[in-house]
Structure 1
Amino acid sequence: MLYSYMDRRPRLGKDVFIADGAKIIGDVHIDEGASIWYNSVIRGDIASIYIGKRTNIQDLSVIHVNTNVPVIIENDVSIGHSVTLHGCTIKKGSMVGMGSTILNGAIIEEGSMVAAGSLITENKQFPPHVLIMGSPAKVVRELTPDEVNDLKTTARHYTQRAEEHRKNIPFSPTNV
């Protein structure tokens, strides 16, 4: 379901899939081919949220902002089930594992993987192509080229799955 908030309204690119139960509120731009899965909440009420091309936000995830602190999720990113993103930036080709939390000002650089259940504290920045793990999270090691490629494969897989769902499950944006 799409909701306007004050003078802010969601904008959807071509071939976006939004699953039943997902709530998208306010200043949210979802780019071409992205997918928002079941019961996720994306709330751009006090700052903007950008979700890049072919990015997937999996079931039960929550994305929110802080005053003047947007969320930017670049192209080909996978956000796992039950992830919380708050005022952070996730660079292209990365993956955030299930149940992770990433807080205000944090930056996950290109092609990195945040392990399931990790906590990224405020204003932390991590280099590209690394495995990030723990609570609080730290770099565990560099990813191999095969692992970086696997992150891209996951994003492609979700793009294909979203296309199947989009064709077979009706969606009608309302309340915009």
Structure 2
Amino acid sequence: MPRIADSTLVSETAYVIGDVEIGENSSVWHGAVIRGDLGEGQIGAGMRIGSGTHIEDNAVVHSATAIGNNVVIGHGAVVEAFKVGDNVLIGNNATLMATSEVGNFCVVAAGAVVLPGMRIPDRSFVVGAPAQIKGEVSAEHIEHMRLTRSLMAALAEEYKKDRSPVQRPE
């Protein structure tokens, strides 16, 4: 049974099932699928999604994984990683395959494919298919991540006020 903090927004069109814990002030947007049903009942099974983490539209998170605090998982991304650290940006349509790990303060660019077993060190900027480390995350990347998280948090607060799924002209 999912355990979701009261302050977290889960869209009515998102799907959250199984042994899933989602921390404070997070958001799960339209069409996102979070499946913590793989290996349910086994030691170490389940999924933890940290506080201040935002899972955007149509993203899929599936497997026993730990996702840190202040993470943004972009539109259409697929995450089956073993671990995603704190303060990470996973770009739109990126794929993190099973048993991969992403360190803290990393950027995984849009469309990147992180192969099974790949370990991405802290502060890495990763691009490509298959993914390659192209350098270190810059101060500009970190500021972009902060702004993106702030925007997602503000959108979640606005959406909580008026949860109507259809915007009608006045």
Structure showing greater relative contact order (alpha-carbon pairs closer than 8 Å, 6 or more residues apart): 1
Q: Residue 26 of structure 2 is aligned with which of 7, 25, 34?
A: 34
Q: Once the two structures are aligned, what percentage of the paired residues are identical?
A: 29
The answer to whether the aligner puts 1:100 opposite 2:94 as a matched pair is yes
- The aligned counterpart of 1:129 is 123
**Counterparts of 1:111 and 1:152 in 2: how far apart (Å)?**
11
- The structure whose residues are more often strand, as a share, is 1
Letter of the 2:56 partner, please give it. Answer: Q
Q: TM-score, normalised by structure 1?
A: 0.86
**Counterparts of 1:159 and 1:89 in 2: how far apart (Å)?**
23
Q: What pairs with 1:95-174 in structure 2 (closer than 5 Å)?
A: 95-169=89-163
Letter of the 2:100 partner, please give it. Answer: A
Letter of the 2:49 partner, please give it. Answer: I
Structure 1 moving runs of 4+ over 2 Å: none
The one-character-per-residue Cα deviations of 1:73-95 (angstroms, maximum 9, x if unpaired) are 11100000001111431111110
RMSD after superposition: 1.4
**Counterparts of 1:150 and 1:12 in 2: how far apart (Å)?**
27
Letter of the 1:143 partner, please give it. Answer: V
- The aligned counterpart of 1:57 is 55
Q: Residue 13 of structure 2 is aligned with which of 21, 42, 45?
A: 21
- The aligned counterpart of 1:48 is 46
**CA shift at 1:170, angstroms?**
6.6
Q: Is the CA contact (8 Å cut-off) linking 2:81 and 2:101 kept in structure 1?
A: no
Q: TM-score, normalised by structure 2?
A: 0.89
**Counterparts of 1:116 and 1:39 in 2: how far apart (Å)?**
19
* Pair 1:126–1:87, CA change in 2 (3 A): closer
**Counterparts of 1:88 and 1:99 in 2: how far apart (Å)?**
18
**Counterparts of 1:107 and 1:140 in 2: how far apart (Å)?**
17
**Counterparts of 1:115 and 1:87 in 2: how far apart (Å)?**
15
Q: What is the aligned length?
A: 159
Q: Is the CA contact (8 Å cut-off) linking 2:36 and 2:62 kept in structure 1?
A: yes
Letter of the 2:143 partner, please give it. Answer: N
Gapped regions of structure 2 (runs ≥ 5): 40-44, 166-170
- The aligned counterpart of 1:5 is none
